[in-house]
Homo-oligomer: A and B are copies of this chain.
Amino acid sequence: MNQDLQSLLQKFRSELREIGHYEEATRLMEWDLRTGAPKKGHELRAEALGTLSAKIFAMLTSENMGRYLNELTSAEAELSQVDRALLRVVRETYERSKKIPPERHQAYVMLVAKSQSVWEEAKKQANFSLLKPYLEKIIAFKREFIQYWGIQNHPYDTLLNLYEPGLTVAKIDPIFKQLREATVDLVQRIGEKGFPKFPVSLRREAPIHQQRHFSEKLLERIGYDFQAGRLDETAHPFEESLNHYDVRVTTKFVLDDVLNAMYSTLHEGGHALYEQHVSAELIGTPLCHGASMGIHESQSRFWENMLGRSRSFLQAIYGDFQAAFPGLFADVHLETLYQAANHVEPSLIRIEADELTYNLHIMIRYEIERALFEETCEVGDLPRLWNEKVRDYLGLETPNDALGVLQDVHWSGGDFGYFPTYSLGNLYAAQFRETLYKEIPDIEEQWSEGDFSQVLEWFSTRVHSHGKVLLPSELIEQATGKPLSADYLIRYLQQKMSDIYQV
């Protein structure tokens, strides 16, 4: 590599490192807003956040940045794998931002801000017609943006790519169809035997400080590094990486539902383990985070569901569970805990859904989004379409739109193409899991003895350490030897349902 190129790379990287510093500030501001920043200060905070976000946007789309990207692109063959990935990731953001006329972007941002508060009201009133005109405008904007960004095969691909690089309708359509059919079949078979009741013994009220200690214990158990993170309380749990050594988890405590915080902690803990184990060599670059939304979700879902709801994990932490809530659950045996953790029952609300039916909620959203951008349906059709699909896949009637099409904030926030990554996470996770189980046949025995070091090491090596250097498709193939397939998740779900519900 010649000196000019080296000095160019250095300037490029130093600019990115600085952008990262502003991002650390905005992430902290957001974390703070969601973990107890005083209410009256929110408005001024939003203003400050606006200034810092504009600064980050300006740096990412500056003339300087354009020049770096051009020059590096023409020397791409000489770059290392990491620098090529860096170039790819930064160029994507740059081009995506540059292609939208600033005044259209501004108008969109204002529309979306307004639209989210309209959504809150519409949901409260269970009145879709309030939100309808806003959704129509948002979708018109999205269709316009798709034109700016360009279409390869399917207009919806362009949106999918915002969240999952390389994902297309052509790839995901058959996979989701296969998953949907197998899941509907399983749900029906369980339903025919009658959906079980959730054990009432787990509905007892557990003091919040005990739940907090239990969550901390769980995070310690799975190897979360508290010297490089912290646990806080929030309304809608999330994980936030402020810097490589400051990866925070949040959770929510529900007085009469200890499993809620337990699994929300394990879920966000899974995201956090990912971020804590990205290679330290990527510090200071945008590569120092998870590969994609889908791969990230594979980690949260794995630790929450595949590990966290396994008999062996519950066996390992059963003593902690009893100790955390002295006497409260003395009559709750391990098997009851296992049944409760794996309780299956179709329900209307996605975020309350169990591991099996969850994907059906995603299929409903995916199919509607695809149709919207194929322009085979319009916003006015949404409530009817929604309710039909809920009937077909979950066997339920939707009493009103608050419990139906209005339940999620995503669409009013303009996040089309996002939902599929949730099920993608489950698919990736199951595929990782099968490989892991093959390579380390006694992995569950390790868990039942409370040893989670080898599973963490396996994920660190195969997934975490790479950060964003590999594309999701490269990552899954490199880690499992196969491209993404629905087979693994379906096999996993069938086995589990057969074990628990004898179907």
Which residues of chain A have a CB within 8 Å of any CB of chain B? 18, 20-22, 24-26, 28-29, 32, 36-41, 43-45, 47-48, 50-52, 209, 225-230, 242-246, 283
Instruction: Give which listed residue, B48, B230, B243, contacts A48 with CB less than 8 A.
Output: B243
Instruction: Give which listed residue, B22, B36, B48, B242, contacts A41 with CB less than 8 A.
Output: B242
Task: Report chain B residues within 8 Å CB of A18.
Answer: 51
Task: Report chain B residues within 8 Å CB of A225.
Answer: 40
Indicate if the CB atoms of B44 and A246 lie closer than 8 Å.
yes
**Top-9 shortest CB links A-B:** A41-B246, A21-B51, A21-B48, A40-B245, A44-B243, A41-B245, A25-B25, A40-B228, A24-B48
Q: How many of these chains are in the complex?
A: 2
Q: Is the interface of A mostly helix, strand, loop or mixed?
A: helix
Task: Report chain B residues within 8 Å CB of A26.
Answer: 25
Q: Report the bound CA distance from A41 to B248 in whole Å.
A: 11
Please give me the residue from chain B that is nearest to A229 by CB atom: B38
With A38-B227, A230-B36 as known contacts, state yes or no: A242 contacts B45, CB within 8 Å. yes
Instruction: Give which listed residue, B21, B32, B36, B48, contacts A47 with CB less than 8 A.
Output: B21
23 CB contacts below 8 A, A to B, read A20-B48, A21-B48, A21-B50, A22-B52, A25-B28, A28-B32, A37-B230, A37-B246, A38-B226, A38-B245, A38-B246, A39-B228, A40-B225, A40-B245, A41-B228, A41-B243, A41-B244, A41-B245, A43-B245, A44-B245, A44-B246, A45-B242, A45-B243
* Least distance between A28 CB and chain B CB atoms (Å): 6
Indicate if the CB atoms of B45 and A24 lie closer than 8 Å.
yes
Task: Report chain B residues within 8 Å CB of A209.
Answer: 209
Indicate if the CB atoms of B51 and A22 lie closer than 8 Å.
yes
Task: Report chain B residues within 8 Å CB of A226.
Answer: 38
Task: Report chain B residues within 8 Å CB of A242.
Answer: 37, 41, 45
* Least distance between A56 CB and chain B CB atoms (Å): 12
* Least distance between A289 CB and chain B CB atoms (Å): 14
* Least distance between A60 CB and chain B CB atoms (Å): 15
Instruction: Give which listed residue, B36, B44, B50, contacts A283 with CB less than 8 A.
Output: B44
Q: Report the bound CA distance from A227 to B48 in whole Å.
A: 19
* Least distance between A91 CB and chain B CB atoms (Å): 23
* Least distance between A384 CB and chain B CB atoms (Å): 43
Task: Report chain B residues within 8 Å CB of A246.
Answer: 37-38, 40-41, 44-45
Please give me the residue from chain B that is nearest to A50 by CB atom: B21
- Given contacts A24-B29, A44-B283, 19 further A-B pairs with CB under 8 A are A18-B51, A21-B47, A22-B52, A24-B44, A24-B45, A25-B25, A32-B32, A38-B226, A38-B228, A38-B229, A38-B245, A38-B246, A39-B227, A40-B225, A40-B227, A41-B245, A44-B243, A45-B243, A48-B243
Indicate if the CB atoms of B32 and A48 lie closer than 8 Å.
no
* Least distance between A221 CB and chain B CB atoms (Å): 18
Instruction: Give which listed residue, B29, B38, B229, contacts A25 with CB less than 8 A.
Output: B29
Q: Report the bound CA distance from A37 to B52 in whole Å.
A: 21
Q: Report the bound CA distance from A129 to B386 in whole Å.
A: 77
